[in-house]
Structure 1
Amino acid sequence: MLQTLAITGPIYLVIALGFLAGRFGIFSKLDMRVLGTYVVRFALPALVFTALSQRPVSEVMNGRYVLGYAVGSLTVMLAAFGWGWRWQGKSFTLSALCGLGVSSSNSGFIGYPIAILVAGPASAAVGLAMCMLVENLLMIPLTLVMADSGHAGGGRWYRILVQSLIQLARNPVILAIVGGFVVSLTGIPITGVLARTINMLAMSSAAVSLFVIGGTLVGLKTKGMRRDVTAIALGKLMLHPLAVGLMMWLVPPDDHTLRAAAVVFAATPMLSIYPILAQKYGFEDMCAAALLLATVLSFLTISVILWLLGPILGWAA
Structure 2
Amino acid sequence: MFEILSITTPIFLLIGAGYLAMGTRLINREQMQGVATFVLYFALPALVIRALTQNPLDEVFQPHYLLAYGLGSLAVFAFALLLTLALQRKPLSEGAIHALGMAASNSGFVGYPVAAMVLGTSPAAVFLALNMLIENLLIIPAALILAEAGRQSGAGIVTAARKTFVRLARNPILIGLALGLLLAVTETAPPRPLAQVVDMLANAAGPAALFVIGGTLFGLQVRGMLGDVGQIVGGKLILHPLAVLGFFLLMPQTDPMLLAGALLFACAPMISVYPLLGQRYGMAGVSAAALMVGTLAAFVTLNLAIGLMNSYGLLPTR
For the aligned pair, the TM-score class normalised by the smaller chain equals over 0.9
Opposite residue 216 of structure 1, the aligned amino acid is T
**Which residue of structure 2 lines up, in the alignment, with residue 200 of structure 1?**
200
Opposite residue 70 of structure 2, the aligned amino acid is A
Q: Please report how far the alpha carbon of residue 155 of structure 1 lies from its aligned counterpart in structure 2 after TM superposition.
A: 4.6
Q: CA RMSD in A?
A: 1.5
For 2:101 and 2:315, how far apart are their aligned partners in 1? 32
Q: Contact (CA 8 Å) 2:118, 2:315: kept in 1 or not?
A: no
Q: Deviations over 1:169-206 (max 9, x none)?
A: 11111011111111111111124111101100000000
Pick closer, same or farther for the CA change 1:5–1:253 going to 2, 3 Å: farther
**TM-score for both structures, normalised by structure 2:** 0.96
**TM-score for both structures, normalised by structure 1:** 0.96
For 1:46 and 1:303, how far apart are their aligned partners in 2? 28
Q: Deviations over 1:225-263 (max 9, x none)?
A: 111111111110000011111112212675421210111
For 1:160 and 1:202, how far apart are their aligned partners in 2? 33
Q: Please report how far the alpha carbon of residue 59 of structure 1 lies from its aligned counterpart in structure 2 after TM superposition.
A: 1.2
For 1:38 and 1:241, how far apart are their aligned partners in 2? 29
Q: Deviations over 1:251-290 (max 9, x none)?
A: 2675421210111000000000011111211211110001
Q: Contact (CA 8 Å) 1:253, 1:259: kept in 2 or not?
A: no
For 1:283 and 1:253, how far apart are their aligned partners in 2? 42
Opposite residue 121 of structure 1, the aligned amino acid is T
Pick closer, same or farther for the CA change 1:29–1:98 going to 2, 3 Å: same
Identity %: 41
For 1:75 and 1:61, how far apart are their aligned partners in 2? 22
Please list every run of 5 or more consecutive structure 1 residues that lacks an aligned counterpart in the other structure.
Answer: none
Opposite residue 104 of structure 1, the aligned amino acid is A
**Which residue of structure 2 lines up, in the alignment, with residue 163 of structure 1?**
163
Q: Contact (CA 8 Å) 1:53, 1:183: kept in 2 or not?
A: yes
> Tell me, what secondary structure is at the counterpart of 2:313?
helix
Q: Please report how far the alpha carbon of residue 3 of structure 1 lies from its aligned counterpart in structure 2 after TM superposition.
A: 2.1
> Is 1:313 paired with 2:301?
no
For 1:41 and 1:100, how far apart are their aligned partners in 2? 22
Pick closer, same or farther for the CA change 1:270–1:314 going to 2, 3 Å: closer
> Tell me, what secondary structure is at the counterpart of 1:282?
coil
Q: Contact (CA 8 Å) 1:64, 1:253: kept in 2 or not?
A: no
**Corresponding residue pairs, total:** 317
Q: Contact (CA 8 Å) 1:129, 1:177: kept in 2 or not?
A: yes
Q: Contact (CA 8 Å) 1:65, 1:252: kept in 2 or not?
A: no
> Is 1:261 paired with 2:261?
yes
**Which residue of structure 2 lines up, in the alignment, with residue 286 of structure 1?**
286
For 1:63 and 1:109, how far apart are their aligned partners in 2? 24
**Which residue of structure 1 lines up, in the alignment, with residue 246 of structure 2?**
246
For 1:53 and 1:72, how far apart are their aligned partners in 2? 28
Opposite residue 259 of structure 2, the aligned amino acid is R
Q: Deviations over 1:41-90 (max 9, x none)?
A: 00000000000112222111111100011100000011011111111121
**Which residue of structure 1 lines up, in the alignment, with residue 26 of structure 2?**
26
Q: Please report how far the alpha carbon of residue 108 of structure 1 lies from its aligned counterpart in structure 2 after TM superposition.
A: 0.4
Q: Deviations over 1:20-46 (max 9, x none)?
A: 110110111111111101100000000
Q: Contact (CA 8 Å) 2:257, 2:315: kept in 1 or not?
A: no
Q: Contact (CA 8 Å) 1:80, 1:95: kept in 2 or not?
A: yes
For 1:273 and 1:252, how far apart are their aligned partners in 2? 35
Superposition map of 1:1-317 within 5 A:
1-152=1-152, 155-251=155-251, 255-310=255-310, 311-313=312-314
Q: Please report how far the alpha carbon of residue 15 of structure 1 lies from its aligned counterpart in structure 2 after TM superposition.
A: 0.4
